[in-house]
Amino acid sequence: MKRVVITGVGVVSSLGNNKSDFWDSISSGRSGIGPITKVDTSDLRFKNAAEVRGFQASEHFDDRMMLMLDPFAHFGVVAAREAIADSGIEFDDALRDRTGVITGSCLGGKETEDAFFFDLYANKKSRVPPIAIPRSMSNAVASHVSIEYGLTGATFTTSTACSSANHAIGQAFWLIRQGTLDAAIAGGSEAPICNGNLKAWEAMRVVAPDTCRPFSKDRSGMILGEGGAMFVLEEMEAAMKRGAKIYGEVAGFGMSADAHHLTMPLVQGAAKAVKAALDDASLVPEDIRYINAHGTATQANDPMEANAIRSVFGDRADDIPVSSTKSMHGHTLGAAGAIEAAATVLGMYYSVLPPNANFTEIDPECRVNVIANEAREGSINAAISNSFAFGGLNAVLAFKRFAD
């Protein structure tokens, strides 16, 4: 089977609107969580989110494209452009034919839907613009990137709640490894900060009133975030032949379903996905030197994930550094796996373990080796990044430091 490497990274997030700014914030432990500015929060129980700030879509798109794209697509397309430029890849006709775009999004164009439904139901308008469907469809990023670069290989979007981006990256990895594609643009994006969606999350009572403290005894819930991250994945020999910079290797991918409950996660399901990723990568638990946790800071997820980690790694769980970067960029739902993969891969590349910000005191029910508040220097030869979604849908990526 072919080996698959990452040659380009692009990020738009609350921690920065490009890869460099994002990594500078992650490695410094700076949080992007702050007061919500995009929506009136006077009737919301929570007031904070991890908003993308300083991003001007008009600087990236002409008037026609601005009309056609929802903010979630702005984030995804701009991240894809950065990843492609970062990779230095050049698409000739043969490569366009064998390059696909695989993206993840939980909500798609939620801001568009929210605004147009408000026009229908509150403002009593009798119609919505004809661009309503193209703006709101979850595959908008995949389709626009495909069109912009003329990429005609397998192109599609996964929507599996908070595992969407990991499923997308994993599928892209498999398609290249098995020879269906030679390269892929893969990742995810989300723009969930609109009134209707915030009210829906408020009803679930899982959003923190202040900030996100994964694995802390005093954690009080998740913080919603927005943004996107995209990668250029290539078959290793082709990447090496053209002298590409290689950030790391996608080594394995594991999936599972809890078949248990829509919102209560299951240790066995999460552990199964972790084991599947290790097996797919031909790794053993002793190889793993860092875990980027799903780590939502909810009462349900964190003990479950800690127990799943201990189920797979046994007593080694005391030694493997763990962090949830959601503590800085928030829970970006369908984009979470992509943004967290960026943190993991860049951490491996720069030999820095991303921190778990806002940490105060370990919860005895969450017995993991938390990288508390400050990044650690250290070589990472192999790492995993977890995504565990509502609906019990789990997706885990395994990465390796590149060695030819």
Distance of CA 131 to the CA centre of its chain: 27
How much of the chain exceeds pLDDT 70, in percent?
A: 100
Which residue is it, tokens 């919505």?
128
Q: What is the mean pLDDT of residues 114-124?
A: 94
SS3 395: strand
Taking residues 353-370, report their average pLDDT: 97
Phi and psi angles of residue 332, each rounded to the nearest 5 degrees, phi first: -95, 20
DSSP run (H or E) holding 248: strand 248-257
The residue count of the chain comes to 404
pLDDT at position 401: 97
What crossing angle do the helices spanning 140-149 and 71-87 adopt, rounded to 10°?
A: 40
Task: State the pLDDT confidence band at 150, using cuts at 50, 70 and 90.
Answer: very high
pLDDT band at 39 (very low <50, low <70, confident <90, very high): very high
Nearest to 357 by CA among 230, 219, 225: 219
In this prediction, residues 382-393 reach a mean pLDDT of 98
Domain 4-241 falls under CATH 1.10.357.10: no
Q: Smallest Cα–Cα separation from 330: which of 306, 349, 357?
A: 357
Is residue 106 part of the annotated active site? The answer reads no
Q: What amino acid occupies position 135?
A: R
- Could you tell me the residue ranges of all domains in the chain? 4-241, 254-399
Given this chain, do its domains 4-241 and 254-399 carry the same CATH topology? yes
End-to-end CA distance of the chain: give it in Å, rounded.
Answer: 15
Q: What is the pLDDT of residues 183-211, one digit of tens each?
A: 999 999 999 999 999 999 999 999 999 99
Q: Is the pLDDT of residue 404 over 90?
A: no
Rounded to an integer, the average pLDDT of 317-345 is 98
Which CATH number is 254-399's, of 3.90.1150.10, 2.40.110.20, 3.40.47.10, 1.10.150.120?
3.40.47.10
- pLDDT-derived band at 403 (thresholds 50, 70, 90) equals confident
Catalytic residue among 144, 294, 329, 366: 294
Give me the DSSP letters along 72-97: HHHHHHHHHHHHHHHHT----HHHHH
Angstrom CA distances, 219 to 36, 212, 297, 342, 363, stand at: 20, 7, 6, 25, 9
Contact present, 270 and 260 (Cβ < 8 Å): no
Q: What is the DSSP string of 171-188?
A: HHHHHHHTTS-SEEEEEE
At CA 261, angle to CA 258 and CA 265, rounded to 5?
60
Reported pTM? 0.97
Mean of the per-residue pLDDT values of the chain: 97
Contact assessment for residue 168 and residue 187, using Cβ atoms and an 8 Å cutoff: yes
Distance, CA of 76 to CA of 72 (rounded, Å): 6
Q: Residue 141: pLDDT above 80?
A: yes
Check 162, 194, 212, 366 and give the catalytic one: 162
Q: What is the pLDDT of residues 277-327, one digit of tens each?
A: 999 999 999 999 999 999 999 999 999 999 999 999 999 999 999 999 999
Average of per-residue pLDDT across 178-187: 98
Q: Catalytic annotation on 162? A: yes
